[in-house]
């Protein structure tokens, strides 16, 4: 039996827009794209393959490099894959025109962006954490008996693996936010590479101590502090790095949300 709203005389719709339903919608949209599977698989395989290569070819020449950093060297490449996927999650909908259907179904608009970010962050973090742990354990097959032998239960090891996963996730969220801001896949990729990867390196060439200090809090530099068992030289502490990355991601997503509310589709 269908009830009727006594104030309006209209039966309430059984298809109300709720946060759970928006999340579920974004989950289905993410996984129905072939690009998602290909990109996530590529990012994971790169880390594992390079980790195995580093383990099998280790001859003691890189003894000064942190073991987790050494094993997870492939994350520098997977970071690009995940950033591109993050941009496609938002800017890709503008390219295909699907964003019109999404915003028509969710007139308030902003929940669409938050749901995309939440679903994407959850998927990326779980994938990166599992990949990091598996890569570390597999690489230790060849690193056992060397100066880079470590166990997953050793102090700081799992924290560094999880920190690396968190750093990759937050960097990917920054890319997702840039895609939403610029509404262009090439523009988003260019903005991410230029502002996150290239700009800090250019700024470090300036002979100013204040600039060197500020650069430590930039996304890529803050991320480097999270994936190491030992303290990284010329880097902030892991806690400060995590806070800096979180604030960067939040700022970009907040700017994207503000423009999403103000601009036409």
Q: Where are the beta strands (DSSP E) in the chain?
A: none
pLDDT confidence of residue 2: 46
Per-10-residue mean pLDDT, the chain, length 265: 49 68 91 92 97 92 89 95 96 86 84 95 97 97 92 94 97 96 94 94 88 92 92 88 97 95 73
What are the tokens at 45?
A: 């395989």
pLDDT confidence of residue 77: 94
C-alpha span between 135 and 47 (Å, rounded): 7
Domain extent listing, the chain: 19-262
Which contiguous run of DSSP H or E holds residue 168? Answer: helix 157-182
pLDDT confidence of residue 14: 59
pLDDT confidence of residue 264: 63
Q: Which residue has the tokens 């996730």?
A: 169
68: CB partners within 8 A, 6+ apart: 136, 150, 157, 160, 161, 164, 227, 228, 229
pTM score = 0.91
Helices (H), 32-97: 34-56, 67-71, 75-96
pLDDT confidence of residue 54: 95
């Amino acid at each position: 039996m269908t009830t009727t709203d006594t104030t309006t005389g209209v039966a309430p719709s059984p298809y109300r827009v709720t946060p759970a339903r928006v999340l579920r919608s974004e989950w289905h949209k993410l996984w129905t794209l072939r690009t998602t599977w290909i990109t996530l698989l590529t990012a994971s395989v790169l880390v594992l393959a390079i980790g195995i290569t580093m383990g099998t070819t280790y001859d003691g020449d890189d003894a000064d490099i942190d073991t987790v950093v050494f094993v997870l060297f492939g994350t520098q490449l997977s970071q690009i894959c995940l950033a591109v996927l993050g941009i496609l999650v938002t800017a890709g909908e503008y390219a295909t025109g699907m964003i019109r259907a999404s915003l028509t179904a969710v007139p308030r608009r902003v929940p669409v962006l938050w749901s995309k970010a939440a679903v994407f962050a959850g998927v990326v973090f779980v994938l990166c954490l599992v990949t990091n742990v598996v890569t570390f354990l597999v690489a230790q097959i060849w690193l056992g008996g060397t100066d880079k032998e470590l166990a997953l239960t050793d102090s700081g090891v799992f924290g560094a693996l999880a920190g690396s996963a968190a750093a990759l996730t937050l960097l990917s969220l920054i890319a997702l936010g840039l895609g939403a801001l610029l509404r262009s896949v090439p523009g988003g990729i260019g903005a991410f590479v230029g502002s996150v990867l290239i700009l800090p390196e250019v700024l470090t060439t300036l002979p100013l101590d204040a600039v060197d200090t500020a650069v430590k809090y930039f996304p890529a530099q803050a991320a480097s502090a999270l994936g190491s068992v030992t303290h990284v030289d010329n880097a902030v502490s892991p806690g400060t790095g995590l806070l800096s990355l979180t604030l960067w991601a939040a700022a970009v997503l907040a700017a994207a949300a503000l423009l999403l509310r103000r601009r036409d589709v």
